[in-house]
Amino acid sequence: MNSKRTVQVGDVFASPLPMNKYGAVKVMDIIGRSYLLGITSYIDEQIPTIESKGIHQILITESIADGLEKPLFEWVDGKLPKELSFMGNIPLTTDEIRVESNIYAGKWSKECGIDVYYKWREETDPQGFKLEMQKKIEKADAYARRNTISNPKKMMDDQVFWGIISLLDWSKEDEGAIVEAAIKELSTLTIWQIRHFEENLSYKLFLSDTEEHAKEIGEYCFSLQDQHLSPDLFLYARCAAVARGKEVFEDALSNPSKMLKDTEFEILLSLSSEAYYLKMDKEFEYESGCSYETFSNKEGWSNTL
């Protein structure tokens, strides 16, 4: 268990992995309650120390977006998981200070270092790893199909919703800066209005979760020939359509061929949680009536699922 009350840039934490192994992550940047983690190349049955060689090297993995080998950095939100152990602090190098990432990994969990395990398994037992991952995917898909909720709860009025979306500042380059004004405006509303915004967003993403839309997202689109699709990438592509405003989204919704190509904007999913934290200084907990996760819209995938 960790003994840290506050997290600082340069902090290194050991993370538990399957098969009684350990990995390690390093905090590269902090913005509010979001943390940029560098996933290190350390993996061993021994819990690492601050002197362990692997924790000074960031894991190199293949990028889903462009297929290039890159160091793995990803943003997480929320509290430091109690399962992580604090190893010490290693000040950032000049190169590390310049690190940027648009990968959002969701809530900070004990599995934040899992990618080094996946790479180790792929290198040491590729066939076994392939079968293991296929079983996990099939199990997750089956669970999602059984438990999908598809009835929206009360939603924010569309005019107000699109008004907040219109505050996204596309003149900025940094994604955090793009959404800053929208988050601040949303934080001035009531708790219920923030929930109603989340419901509206979830429903729009649910509506565009269809096979036809998945075929139109660009290079990594769904095809009937191989039927391979990254669920996360398709979700982020749907986020991009909503983020670009009412006209772009509604055009794409009615005509899937107008979906934005090779574009994603996953940070849109954090608007409600960031606004709620800004307002209440605590985590946002809300379950929408419709899931925005890929394959949740059963009618949209009726020919495939």
Q: What is the pLDDT of residues 218-267, one digit of tens each?
A: 998 998 776 678 899 999 999 999 999 999 999 999 999 999 999 999 99
Chain centre distance of CA 7: 21
- If residue 175 lies in a helix (H) or strand (E), which one and from where to where? helix 175-187
Confidence class of residue 70 from pLDDT cuts 50, 70 and 90?
Answer: confident
- If residue 197 lies in a helix (H) or strand (E), which one and from where to where? helix 191-207
CA 224, CA 215: separation in Å to the nearest integer?
Answer: 9
For residue 91, the SS3 value is coil
Query: How many of the other CB atoms lie within 10 Å of CB of 135?
Result: 10
Angle (CA) 119-56-53 rounded to 5° is 85
- Mean pLDDT (the chain, rounded): 90
List pLDDT tens digits, range 52-66: 989 999 998 876 555
Average pLDDT over residues 136-163: 78
pLDDT of 298 reads 87
Q: Which of 104, 55, 96 is nearest to 75 (CA)?
A: 104
Confidence class of residue 104 from pLDDT cuts 50, 70 and 90?
Answer: confident
CA distances from 191 to 21, 33, 137, 162, 182 (A): 42, 19, 35, 18, 15
Statement: residue 275 has pLDDT above 90: yes
Specify the residue for token string 């605590």: 282
Average pLDDT over residues 202-211: 96
Residue 290 amino acid letter:
C
Give residues with Cβ within 8 angstroms of 116, minimum separation 6: 17, 23, 39, 40, 41, 42, 43, 59
Whole-model pTM: value is: 0.55
Average pLDDT over residues 24-51: 94
CA 189, CA 285: separation in Å to the nearest integer?
Answer: 16
Helix, strand, coil % over all residues of the chain, rounded to 5: 40, 15, 45
Angle (CA) 221-227-229 rounded to 5° is 45
Q: Extract the tokens encoding 199.
A: 């419901």
Average pLDDT over residues 179-186: 97
Lowest mean pLDDT among 61-65, 87-91, 281-285: 61-65
Statement: residue 81 has pLDDT above 70: yes
pLDDT of 146 reads 54
pLDDT of 38 reads 95
| % of the chain residues with pLDDT over 70 | 92
pLDDT of 141 reads 66
